[in-house]
């Protein structure tokens, strides 16, 4: 797995065992995606007790979006869709986030739809992960809006 992906996972506080699981999922997607995987994103949220919960994984190439089920740590359920110039709708909900620099209180939720299959995507971020989600939004969602 790419070094920058490992650094990203570490920045989220992910355990080494979970990082190894992410690496095996990355290896799977590398085998089935016809393009190089460029980016990774981990859906996360903060629970009431303050601990971080990791929900699902997202990988991005130039033309494809790949994701896992919310139980990615124990489930081998994956999907992939061509998203190049196929985004028809997006909505962002943000809390305590200025869309520039995340804080401990920042939360960001992005939902978007890819057509013609009408794939519904939901990406969630907390704390510093909001900055990564902002990057994903600009790089893969805004650039792929159907004109």
Assigned token pair, 30: 């590398």
Tell me which CATH code domain 3-144 carries.
Answer: 2.30.29.30
User: pLDDT tens, 25-67?
Assistant: 999 999 999 999 999 999 999 999 989 999 999 999 999 999 9
Residue pair 41/133 in contact (Cβ under 8 Å)? The answer is yes
State the pLDDT at residue 117: 75
Task: Please state, in angstroms and rounded to a whole number, the distance separating the CA atoms of residues 143 and 131.
Answer: 17
Assigned token pair, 111: 């939902």
State the pLDDT at residue 118: 74
Assigned token pair, 42: 């981990």
Q: Which of 6-10, 74-78, 114-118, 127-131 has the lowest mean pLDDT?
A: 114-118
Using the 8-state DSSP alphabet, how is residue 98 labeled? -
State the pLDDT at residue 44: 96
**pTM (global) more than 0.85:** yes
User: pLDDT tens, 78-129?
Assistant: 999 999 999 999 999 999 999 999 999 999 999 999 988 778 899 999 999 9
For the beta sheet containing 119-126, the strands, ordered from the edge strand earlier in sequence to the opposite edge, are 87-95, 107-114, 119-126
Going from N- to C-terminal start, the domains of the chain cover: 3-144
């Amino acid at each position: 797995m790419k070094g920058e992906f490992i650094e990203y996972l570490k920045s989220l506080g992910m355990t080494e065992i979970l990082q190894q699981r992410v690496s095996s999922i990355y290896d799977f997607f590398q085998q089935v995606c016809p393009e190089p995987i460029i980016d990774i994103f981990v859906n996360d949220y903060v629970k009431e007790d303050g601990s971080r919960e990791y929900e699902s994984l997202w990988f991005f190439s130039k033309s494809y979006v790949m994701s896992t089920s919310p139980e990615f740590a124990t489930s081998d359920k994956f999907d992939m869709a061509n998203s190049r110039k196929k985004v028809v709708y997006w909505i962002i909900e943000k809390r305590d986030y200025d869309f520039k620099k995340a804080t401990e209180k920042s939360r960001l939720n992005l939902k978007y739809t890819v057509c013609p299959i009408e794939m519904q995507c939901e990406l969630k971020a907390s704390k510093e992960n909001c900055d990564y989600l902002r990057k994903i939004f600009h790089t893969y969602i805004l650039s792929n809006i159907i004109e």
